Structure 1
Amino acid sequence: MENSRFDQILDGLNALVIIIDANRRIKFANKAAKKKFGDSVVGESFVRIVRQPDCLAAIDAVMNGEGERRVEITIGASPSATFEININSVGQGASNETRVALTFEDVSQIRDAQLMRSEFVANVSHELRSPLTALAGFIETLSGPAKDDAGARERFLGLMDKEAARMKRLIDDLLSLSKLQGKERIRPSGHVDVHLLVQRVIATLTPISEQEQKSIDFKNNSKITTILGDEDELIQIFHNIIENAIKYGALDTEVSIEISDLDHVAGLDGRVLAASVSDKGAGIAAEDIPRLTERFYRVDKSRSRIKGGTGLGLAIVKHILNRHRGRLQIESEVGAGSTFTIFLPIGEK
């Protein structure tokens, strides 16, 4: 009876709990452990699910009375899961054999966040170091060999201006990300006319579209006048998506923008405003699409830098859409162009 109550308590835990005997045979697994490793795991050898030498050595140490141990292991390949395991002796079983309890705590998200943070710092350092190194080299040249060379001075000052502008864009995007993360859980309450907003963004981007030899076709099929949102943030979304379509579309092609209403979109509540932006560019490979909203992820790094991209634009779009409880859908075919569709809940007026 006592064991039954104890088992019920362990079954109620979210953590995975496994109890093994001196032969590393699994004598008990709670519901969470069975869900992870299979219902038939009880009676099997623990080595079937965990083979890492560090974990097995820690189990042997606890079996030998050397006290509690804690180890971290990674199980699986794609996707993998990282667990922190507490290993404790729980006395003896019916046959007077030592038994050990292993409690698995899933720390995958924590480790992923730590990895993302370290990669983010490394990427920021690299992105800032490149223009700073270039600026330092130009300054050294202008202070030395090209000091009295008017032609070189004009050329280098132009390059310095571009590198300084690149750093400013990066810092502006980093500040935008920081602000968005701070208020991502607070849903905006302003009223925004998306039709007028897109027209403003197109007007702002007209010089770039003319320079890139692209025409813009805008169709508004929506009967909705306004939605709930933050105007400045929605401008950021449309500016980023439309500018990308202009910059990465093929020469002498058209960027198509269309706004429409949808009664329902999976994962969103109520009626939705859908805004699609299509280009006729090189397209994006299927394996790259899921990673496009990652910070500093670029399909073509050299081309992105030439076009003035920071690698943060779509990450900013993702955070803004999260705040607006919206979604981004990316459809693309290599050689046939891409379509980025923004779904925004209309919200109550």
Structure 2
Amino acid sequence: MPTAALAPAADTLPLQVGMVLVCVALAGWVLAVWLLLRQPRLPAFPPEDYLRPVSPTDLPVDPLPACAVVLDGLGAIVQVNEEAASQFGETVGAILRHPAARAALSAALRVPVLSSAYGAGGSTDSSSANGVPAASRADLPPVCSTTFTLDVPVPRTFHLMLRRLPGGKGQDRRVLVILNDRSEAQAADRMRMDFVAHASHELRTPLASVSGFIDALQGPAGENPAIRQQFLGVMRQQSERLKRLIDRLLYLSRVQAHEHQRPRDLVDVADLMAVVLGEVAPRFEAEGRTLRLQIEDDLVIRADEDEIVQVLLNLIENALRYGAGEAEPLTITLSARRAVIPDDRWPADGGVILGVEDDGCGMEAHHLPRLTERFYRAGAGTGHGTGLGLSIVRHILDRHGGRLRIASAPGKGTTCLVWLPPARGSLAVPTGE
């Protein structure tokens, strides 16, 4: 009997153990499903608001080697780096308020910022390129660019490149703007085109004249000795004009070739003026032409003597050619003095001022800004000048670190002043008055 009573208990033990194991497995499966559902689901293509907004402190624009400005969604300036502040100053606001700039800003704000960090189906790509995980890379929006010209106070051409930054909504959106002033490049392009046009015209005129007289001399006119001599005289004049033009162009190219090299020689201004006087003295032997000298003592400059002599010769030549008519009296004053401190026209470190002043007919004020352009000549009666003299003067003074100031008015003559920096390290140079 005892043996028969123990048999049913032994048969139920495996069944109870199995049920417990099934319950544990079921609980583990439920827990795993619950934990899986608790994990955040990453969108297959996250919207732009999913990206973290970029605040002004997140974008270090100061180290950028360009003029950079950060704008908000309303076009207000959030950041201006040091390069933009130093180059444009308070004009940054006027530049960004231009209609073309506002239109480019609106276009940049309409471009969506999308990320390629996540693949389809919510999975991430663990591959990397250049050491940067693919999950940290983003598709940059296209650049919106525009070019426009501001006419006030002087014409300036600007090129803007705008790119929308990730994140933000409404006013919190950010746009990076890169400003580039193309005024100088545009002016250089215009001057090159003008140079080619004027040079071809100046070269073609004497060549056409010489060619025409050659054709005439090959015909019946060549048999007449008087006409032949007359034509040959004109041809000589035109060939000399052509030679002067070519010589000026070659000299200008030589000056520009070493324009970046500052001269190192110390030159006594009195000796320099003696050379100039020896060159121009024969031009003042004619009646009605007077040259006056006003030269201070003990003036020394650091300069290329030949080039500064060329500067003064060109200024005197212009005064003789354009100052007065052939029969009108003309007085030219050649001067050299120390720069007075202070003087708003020159840097505040002294220096020497060389001057060429005439009492001739003068010129209108609108000519003055263009006098140093190549081939520019004021007025119609300009004789046979090449129009390159003052351009050569400007390039020589650029090499010396000098300045040129021209003042003129109709009937009151013309004054050309050349400022040259003091010769540092020379005991002979006074410090100024």
TM-score bracket relative to the smaller structure: 0.7 to 0.9
What's the TM-score once normalised by structure 2's chain length?
0.67
Taking structure 1 as reference, are residues 2 and 12 closer, same or farther at Cα in structure 2, changes over 3 Å only?
same
| Alignment pair present for 1:216 and 2:291 | yes
- Bigger mean CA offset, 12-21 vs 245-254: 12-21
Matched AA of 2:316: I
Per-residue CA deviations over 1:84-120 (Å, capped at 9, x if unaligned) read: 2224343452359987544332222222222222222
Taking structure 1 as reference, are residues 16 and 96 closer, same or farther at Cα in structure 2, changes over 3 Å only?
closer
The CA distance in 1 between the partners of 2:275 and 2:316, in whole Å, is 12
Alpha-carbon offset, residue 223 of structure 1: 1.7
Match of 1:262 among 327, 339, 343: 339
Alpha-carbon offset, residue 15 of structure 1: 2.0
Match of 2:91 among 14, 17, 36: 36
Which structure would you say has the larger Rg? 2
Alpha-carbon offset, residue 176 of structure 1: 1.8
Taking structure 1 as reference, are residues 276 and 252 closer, same or farther at Cα in structure 2, changes over 3 Å only?
same
Percent identity reads 35
| Alignment pair present for 1:5 and 2:57 | yes
Alpha-carbon offset, residue 194 of structure 1: 2.5
Taking structure 1 as reference, are residues 114 and 63 closer, same or farther at Cα in structure 2, changes over 3 Å only?
farther
Q: Secondary structure at the match of 2:259?
A: coil
The residue that corresponds to 1:328 in the other structure is 404
Taking structure 1 as reference, are residues 201 and 98 closer, same or farther at Cα in structure 2, changes over 3 Å only?
closer
Alpha-carbon offset, residue 58 of structure 1: 5.8
Contact 2:402–2:419 (8 Å) recurs in 1: yes
What's the TM-score once normalised by structure 1's chain length?
0.82
Taking structure 1 as reference, are residues 218 and 149 closer, same or farther at Cα in structure 2, changes over 3 Å only?
same
Contact 2:144–2:161 (8 Å) recurs in 1: yes
Matched AA of 2:390: L
Taking structure 1 as reference, are residues 149 and 53 closer, same or farther at Cα in structure 2, changes over 3 Å only?
farther
Alpha-carbon offset, residue 154 of structure 1: 1.3
Matched AA of 1:273: V
Taking structure 1 as reference, are residues 52 and 136 closer, same or farther at Cα in structure 2, changes over 3 Å only?
farther
Taking structure 1 as reference, are residues 239 and 118 closer, same or farther at Cα in structure 2, changes over 3 Å only?
same
Matched AA of 1:242: I
Show the 5 A alignment for 1:130-279.
130-211=205-286, 213-220=288-295, 222-224=296-298, 226-250=300-324, 251-264=328-341, 267-268=346-347, 270-279=349-358
Counting strand residues as a fraction of each chain, which structure ranks higher? 1
The CA distance in 2 between the partners of 1:60 and 1:285, in whole Å, is 50
The residue that corresponds to 2:185 in the other structure is 110
| Alignment pair present for 1:344 and 2:420 | yes
Alpha-carbon offset, residue 236 of structure 1: 0.4
The CA distance in 1 between the partners of 2:235 and 2:249, in whole Å, is 21
The CA distance in 1 between the partners of 2:400 and 2:210, in whole Å, is 39
Matched AA of 2:58: F
The CA distance in 2 between the partners of 1:171 and 1:103, in whole Å, is 43
Taking structure 1 as reference, are residues 203 and 28 closer, same or farther at Cα in structure 2, changes over 3 Å only?
closer
Contact 2:252–2:392 (8 Å) recurs in 1: yes
Match of 2:198 among 88, 108, 123: 123
Corresponding pairs, count: 335
Alpha-carbon offset, residue 202 of structure 1: 2.7
The CA distance in 2 between the partners of 1:173 and 1:17, in whole Å, is 46
Alpha-carbon offset, residue 138 of structure 1: 1.5
Contact 2:54–2:165 (8 Å) recurs in 1: no
Alpha-carbon offset, residue 345 of structure 1: 3.0
Contact 1:58–1:71 (8 Å) recurs in 2: no
For structure 1, the residue ranges without an aligned partner over 5 or more in a row are: none
Alpha-carbon offset, residue 316 of structure 1: 1.0
Taking structure 1 as reference, are residues 296 and 86 closer, same or farther at Cα in structure 2, changes over 3 Å only?
same
The residue that corresponds to 2:387 in the other structure is 311
Report the RMSD for the aligned CA atoms in angstroms.
3.3
Matched AA of 1:323: R
- Bigger mean CA offset, 112-121 vs 261-270: 261-270
- Bigger mean CA offset, 231-240 vs 338-347: 338-347
Per-residue CA deviations over 1:298-337 (Å, capped at 9, x if unaligned) read: 112x422x2x311111111122122222222222221011
Match of 2:149 among 54, 58, 74: 74
Contact 1:285–1:334 (8 Å) recurs in 2: yes
The CA distance in 2 between the partners of 1:248 and 1:270, in whole Å, is 34
The residue that corresponds to 1:295 in the other structure is 374
Contact 1:233–1:320 (8 Å) recurs in 2: yes
Contact 1:37–1:49 (8 Å) recurs in 2: no
